[in-house]
């Protein structure tokens, strides 16, 4: 009966570090660039979701108009709502990147204010995202 040779794993810290850092996705620069581009992604996805969602019926719209809007186009509304919900992550990642950049520059107060403002903006927008 033949036995297979044992599998050898790198046991030194240098070998583990070398194999882990060879990926470009593990570098902090990749994640910084990704988080900073989240602001642009937020704007693009916001425009896309507004386009998908369409024009809301007015406040004085009849019940038949509301039924036609929400009943007939519910798939479109669900897609736009799901994309808008995921877009919250882009806004929060961008706010965190701005806060980190400002904290590195020694302006922690402005970073905290920006984070609070973006959270408040999304909270107000979440109440009625497609006015």
Query: Is 113 a member of any domain?
Result: yes
Q: What is the pTM of this model?
A: 0.60
Tell me whether residue 59 is in a domain: yes
Would 20 be classed as within a structural domain? no
- In whole angstroms, give the CA distance from residue 48 to residue 10: 48
pLDDT tens for each residue of 95-131:
878 777 777 777 767 767 777 777 776 666 665 555 5
* Residue 60 forms part of a structural domain: yes
SS3 129: coil
Exposure of 129 in the CB half-sphere (CA atoms within 13 A)? 24
**Residue 67: band (very low, low, confident or very high) from pLDDT cuts 50, 70, 90:** confident
Structural domain contains residue 71:
yes
Kindly state the average pLDDT of the residues 46-68: 85
Number of domains within the chain: 1
Q: For the chain, how far is it from start to end, CA to CA, in angstroms?
A: 74
Residue 7 lies in a domain: no
Domain that holds residue 98: 29-127
Asked whether residue 18 is domain-assigned, the answer is no
Render pLDDT for 8-54 as a digit per residue (tens, 0 to 9): 655 555 555 555 557 777 777 787 788 778 889 999 999 999 898 88
pLDDT of residue 14: 53
For the record, the structure tokens of 118 come out as 């973006």
Examine residue 8 and state whether it is found in any structural domain, yes or no: no
């Amino acid at each position: 009966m033949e036995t297979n040779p044992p599998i050898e794993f790198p046991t030194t810290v240098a070998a583990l570090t070398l194999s882990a850092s060879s990926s470009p996705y593990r570098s902090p620069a990749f994640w910084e660039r990704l988080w900073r581009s989240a602001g642009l992604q937020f704007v693009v996805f916001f425009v896309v979701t507004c386009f998908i969602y369409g024009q809301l019926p007015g406040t004085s719209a009849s019940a038949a108009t509301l039924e036609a809007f929400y009943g007939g186009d519910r798939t479109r509304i669900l897609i736009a709502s799901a994309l808008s919900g995921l877009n919250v992550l882009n806004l929060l990642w961008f706010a965190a990147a701005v806060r980190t950049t400002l904290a590195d520059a020694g302006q922690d107060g402005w970073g905290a204010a920006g984070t609070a403002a973006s959270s408040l903006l999304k909270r107000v927008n979440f109440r009625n995202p497609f006015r």
